[in-house]
Each structure stands twice: as C-alpha cells, then as structure tokens.
Amino acid sequence: MLPVRACVLALALSLIVSLPAAGQSVPGSGAVTVIRAGTLIDGRSQAARRDQVIVVRGNRIESVGDAASTKIPEGANVIDLSRATVLPGLIDSHTHIFLQGEDPAEGGYDAQLLMQGLAFRAARATVAARRALVQGFTTIRDVETEGAGYGDVGIKQAIEKGYIPGPRMFVVTRAISTTGGYNLEGYAPEVEVPKGAQIVDGPVEARKAAREQLDHGADWIKVYMTHRSWLDKDGNLFSQPTLTLEEIRAIVDEAHGWGKKVACHAYNGVGLHRALDGGCDSIEHGLELDDRAIAQMVKQGTWLCPTMSVYYDHWSPADTPAGKRDRKRVELHGPSLRKAVRAGVKIAFGTDVGGFSWNEPIAKEFARMVEFGMTPMAAIQSATSKGAEMLGMSGEIGVVAPGAYADIIAVPGDPLKNVADLETVQFVMKDGKVFETGSK
Ligand SMILES: [Zn+2]
C-alpha cells in the first residue's frame, strides 16, 4: 500500500504526465523519453543536483544536464518528476527469490524443500522478482536457490525474454558447502533428505561442483565458509568452518578461470580467514570481522556485503542457546560494519531478503547501514555505483549518466536527510521501460 505522501505525489504526477500503461515499453526502440528530475542523486557524484533533465533513447541514457540549458527533443515523452528525488535503479547484492521469509509456524525452511514442488517454488520466485522491481531494485545478485537447483537461471531467462517482470539478475545457482555444512539436517541418519546447497568434500569435488554450476549458467559462485554458530563457554560467537583452504582455493581458481567471482558466506573465525586466504571476492554477512580480516580485505579489495537487517528478525527465546546466539549476532554485527567502514573496506548493499518476507521493505537495510557508520550517500552508493562495480557493471548500471542503461527510480522527499524515503519508491524505469508500481 502506498503511504499518504506517496499517494499525494502520485496524484500530482498523474495530473502532469501521462505515463505508459503498466509494463508497456516506450514505443519504438529509438523512442525518446525525457525525465525532469527535481533532485538527482546520480549514484556516483558526492552531491545531489537540482533541476536536471535526463534524456533516454531506447534503453540507454543519452544525456543528463541542467533543465535551464537542455533542449527537450521534439516528440519526446516527458515524465515530470520535478517534485521527486531521482536515483539510479537500486542493486541488492544478496537476495533469495526462492525463499519466502519462511514462517516457522508453516514448517519453516525445511517445509519448502520437503513439501513444495519446484513449480510452486518457481511461481513464488516469480512474485519475489516482481517485488524487487516494484521496490526500485532493478538489479539483484541472487545468492542461491536453496534446493531449487537451477531455477534462478530459468527465472532470469524469463525476465530477459520479457515473459515476466523482474530485475536484472546475477545468479549463483545451487551454492556449495561440505558434508555437515548445510541444511536440511537433524533427521535420522538413515533418512536421505535433500540439501539446500551442493555438498562437496575434497578439492576435486569442489572444483567439479563449480564447473557444473558455471556450465549451467552461474554468474557467480556462492560458497558457505561457516555454517552452524553458537556461543562458547566464554560467551563468544563460534562458527563452524566448512570448506578447507584447499577446497575453497580450487573453487576460486576455477571461477576466476571463467572470469567469474566467488561470494563467501562467512560469519567469523577460521571459516572467515579461510575465505580470505582462499581469495574470495565478497564476504557475505561478516558478523565479526577482526582486525586481521579487515586489513586483508582492504589489501585484497574484498567486498563486504553486510546484510544487517535480516538478523533482527525471528529471534529464538532469550533463555535458549539459539536465542543467545541470535542476540549476540546483532551485538557484534553493527560494530563489525563500523570498523570495516572506517578502514575503507568496499561495501555492497545486500539484504538477504527471502530470509525475511518479500512483503517487507527491502530498503529498510539503508537505515541500518547509516546507524552503523555509513553516510546516507555512501549507503546509497553501496546500492548503486558500488554494487555495479562489484558486479563488473560500472558505468552500465547503478548510475544516471550518459551511456548507462536507463534504470531509473524516483522517491518522494530527500533520502539524504531520511534514508527511509527509499522505502517508498513510486517510479521505476528498467531498461528504458516504465514499470507501473501502483499495484503492489
Ligand atoms: Zn543469504
């Protein structure tokens, strides 16, 4: 549902412009659309600019300039966002369209793998992809299908071919962990249950899994470097490491050979250090980055994708081991991000949405990033130009500048003053096509 102020702006917009109907493309591949931006945060510059005009031809941005000096091309379709803040389409670098914020009351994670067929899960993933786009996320890196095989490749293809709406997708397919290193677990040892990730043991199997996944369309490889976590007798967070250094090295070597990168789920401790020693390209979560890890990340140019907000949900009761762990994770995570920001670690915005419901605002993560040491502009750039850089798409996405894809959004208010304004995206253009956000 649109909040009141968004409704007011939407009404104002409807009086001024006639937008193309939902999902329709601007007619003709070379058609020209002009966007008047009251304020433009271009994703790259350190300051916003007032009264800009963005000229879009086909699916690319042709020019960006001051309204006073820009001539509107004849016959252009003009979209008036002069009362809004215009930004590049956002990038969430850690999503799970095949997870639905599983409610423990409905069987939780396990029920999705044991009870739900792939067609059902793909249908829900289709809805999740649309939810990303509606919320202004025009690109996602979706970091594993949780037992749904290569389903992400199929959803990505359906989006690219125009059958369903959704963001640009970078997919990892199945992800990789070791025996004892991923769900489902806790069943009788005699019972064969599916696993949410591809299980490998030894560098040969690890390399083979990476090859299979790359062969079937993985854009990135996702690896679990830690799995279970608990508090030790001194109250410290302890995380079980999974892959050995030899195993992660085999995967990174293979992926890099294909010109692809490796994202490593790692909380802290031995698994985190193996990830860095093994040459991982991004650390996912990084709940407790020690000084050595931070120094190594700066030196190696490793990205941190923190995913703060997911850890604030669904805590177990406070007096249980799991409940104590849940609270400890949050206690460590904020200071860990703060240290990383201060040290100059490269940060990419990521949320783990799917770990929480797709009906919650993805952009709630921005407020957490600001709470723990990032400026609003730095947080926005982590979801625009910085995310693009991590994905090897600098200048193509995550920026409103000539030559980039026309992935453009607008929000009411000023997200530099209040980053929560990014939760009320009301205009979305992806690849030069206006996506109607009104029907959520
Ligand atoms: Zn995740």
Residue 189 dihedral angles phi and psi, to the nearest 5°: -60, -20
Instruction: Compute the distance from residue 147 Cα to the ligand 1 centre, in Å.
Output: 13
Average pLDDT, the chain: 93
Instruction: Compute the distance from residue 143 Cα to the ligand 1 centre, in Å.
Output: 6
Instruction: Compute the distance from residue 96 Cα to the ligand 1 centre, in Å.
Output: 7
User: pLDDT of 89-141, one tens digit each?
Assistant: 999 999 999 999 977 787 889 999 999 999 999 999 999 999 999 999 999 99
Instruction: Compute the distance from residue 356 Cα to the ligand 1 centre, in Å.
Output: 10
Instruction: Compute the distance from residue 309 Cα to the ligand 1 centre, in Å.
Output: 12
Give the span between the Cα atoms of 11 and 151, in whole angstroms. 39
pLDDT of residue 29: 57
Instruction: Compute the distance from residue 224 Cα to the ligand 1 centre, in Å.
Output: 10
Say if residues 43 and 400 touch (Cβ distance below 8 Å). yes
Instruction: Compute the distance from residue 175 Cα to the ligand 1 centre, in Å.
Output: 10
Q: Which residues pair with 85 in a beta bridge?
A: 39, 411
Instruction: Compute the distance from residue 429 Cα to the ligand 1 centre, in Å.
Output: 27
Instruction: Compute the distance from residue 2 Cα to the ligand 1 centre, in Å.
Output: 28
Instruction: Compute the distance from residue 145 Cα to the ligand 1 centre, in Å.
Output: 10
Instruction: Compute the distance from residue 315 Cα to the ligand 1 centre, in Å.
Output: 17
Give the span between the Cα atoms of 76 and 26, in whole angstroms. 10
pLDDT at residue 24 tops 50: no
Question: What one-character-per-residue DSSP string does 183-248 give?
Answer: SS-SS-TTS----SSEEE-SHHHHHHHHHHHHHTT-SEEEEESEEEEEE-TTS-EEEEE-S-HHHH
Angle ∠(248,249,251) on CA atoms, nearest 5? 65
pLDDT of residue 1: 41
Residues whose CB falls within 8 Å of the CB of residue 192, separated by 6 or more in sequence, listed in order = none
Instruction: Compute the distance from residue 307 Cα to the ligand 1 centre, in Å.
Output: 8
Instruction: Compute the distance from residue 354 Cα to the ligand 1 centre, in Å.
Output: 8
Instruction: Compute the distance from residue 325 Cα to the ligand 1 centre, in Å.
Output: 18
Give the span between the Cα atoms of 93 and 352, in whole angstroms. 9
Residue with more model confidence, 140 or 29: 140
Residues whose CB falls within 8 Å of the CB of residue 385, separated by 6 or more in sequence, listed in order = 43, 44, 88, 394, 398, 399
Which of 431, 430, 420 is CA-nearest to residue 6?
A: 420
pLDDT of residue 84: 98
Instruction: Compute the distance from residue 367 Cα to the ligand 1 centre, in Å.
Output: 19
Which of 64, 44, 47, 55 is CA-nearest to residue 386?
A: 44
Residues whose CB falls within 8 Å of the CB of residue 331, separated by 6 or more in sequence, listed in order = none
Instruction: Compute the distance from residue 355 Cα to the ligand 1 centre, in Å.
Output: 7
pLDDT at residue 25 tops 90: no
Give the span between the Cα atoms of 114 and 120, in whole angstroms. 12
**What's the pLDDT band for 8 if we cut at 50, 70, 90?**
very low
Instruction: Compute the distance from residue 99 Cα to the ligand 1 centre, in Å.
Output: 9
pLDDT of residue 106: 79
Instruction: Compute the distance from residue 73 Cα to the ligand 1 centre, in Å.
Output: 45
User: pLDDT of 385-416, one tens digit each?
Assistant: 999 999 999 999 999 999 999 999 999 999 99
Instruction: Compute the distance from residue 420 Cα to the ligand 1 centre, in Å.
Output: 23
Instruction: Compute the distance from residue 32 Cα to the ligand 1 centre, in Å.
Output: 39
- Please state the rounded mean pLDDT for residues 190-197: 96
Give the span between the Cα atoms of 92 and 136, in whole angstroms. 10
- Please state the rounded mean pLDDT for residues 364-370: 98
